[in-house]
Amino acid sequence: MAHLRRAPGLSMLISRVGVSLVLCGALALAACSGGGTSSGTGGSSTSGNAPTATAQGTPAPTATIALQQITVAYCEHLLPLATANQIIPSSAPATSISQGNPNDAESGACNYVVSPSQFLLIIYFIPYHGPDPIPQSDLQSVLSQAAGHNMTIDTATTVSGIGDQAAYVDATGSSNGTALTIHIFYVLEGSFIFDCFTASFLSPVQATQSQLQQCATTVDTNLRA
């Protein structure tokens, strides 16, 4: 996953993230392409309820952000380091923030660094050009694709009152014999999607839905500040 800054010992971790990032990035990619990226093989079943695309009542002010402007200083504005450590308490707290840039120059990430191979939290930003809100059919397609990549959806819960659309997803699976667990809270804000997530092979602790929702709410509020 290219939005992580490469460091010694990270190559294997990055290859594993590439599998589980289906949940993180495919929400945008599927909608942008009007029906999803190429589906994976396999037949892992999904459990829980798929998020529903429910339009909000009176829309909040539109968040504006130029994704290429994501810097360490801007990450600190969106979610201060101290706040991240308060939201997700850990015996190994984050000590710094690094900027992450995937191959798409319009995207970016805020990495809350514990060590060269561990991140308390990652906030990922993805350009979005699809329908708003994302249709339920696309969401279900993404969940199905994720299950096809050796991932099983354990929880998928729509949350109202944050951005144009928001949902929490957790999934479990394996890659090369290693068990994976990822927890993601994503928010659609018009022209982009952002998400707060933790992963079992990257994070010292797995954040709960409540913690990731608090992260997303803080970021969404500070996007407007």
How confident is the model over 48-66, as pLDDT tens digits? Answer: 444 443 344 444 445 555 4
Cα–Cα nearest to 197, from 224, 170, 173: 170
What is the average pLDDT across 34-50?
Answer: 32
Cβ atoms of 123 and 219 closer than 8 Å: yes
pTM of the predicted model as reported, rounded to 2 decimal places: 0.74
| In-domain check, residue 5 | no
Cβ atoms of 84 and 205 closer than 8 Å: no
Strands ordered across the beta sheet of 178-189: 96-100, 108-115, 118-127, 192-199, 178-189, 165-175, 151-158
| In-domain check, residue 216 | yes
| In-domain check, residue 46 | no
d(CA 208, CA 54): 23
Cα–Cα nearest to 100, from 128, 135, 124, 129: 124
Provide the CATH number for the domain around residue 153.
3.40.1000
Q: What is the domain extent for residue 119?
A: 11-36+63-223
| In-domain check, residue 51 | no
How far is the CA of 33 from the CAs of 36, 133, 142, 172, in angstroms? 6, 15, 12, 26
Residue 99, Cβ neighbours under 10 Å: how many?
Answer: 16
Cα–Cα nearest to 206, from 90, 69, 43: 90
Cβ atoms of 118 and 131 closer than 8 Å: no
Give the tens place of pLDDT for each residue, 158-215. 899 998 899 998 888 887 788 888 899 999 888 888 999 999 988 999 999 999 999 9
- Number of domains, the chain: 1
| In-domain check, residue 164 | yes
Q: Rg of the Cα trace of the chain?
A: 16
What is the average pLDDT across 27-34?
Answer: 43
With bands split at pLDDT 50, 70 and 90, how would you rate the model's confidence at 93?
A: very high
Highest mean pLDDT among 33-37, 92-96, 150-154: 92-96
Alpha helices in 55-194 (DSSP H): 72-78, 81-87, 136-148
Would you state the pLDDT for residue 218?
97
Cβ atoms of 99 and 71 closer than 8 Å: yes
**Average confidence score pLDDT of the chain:** 73
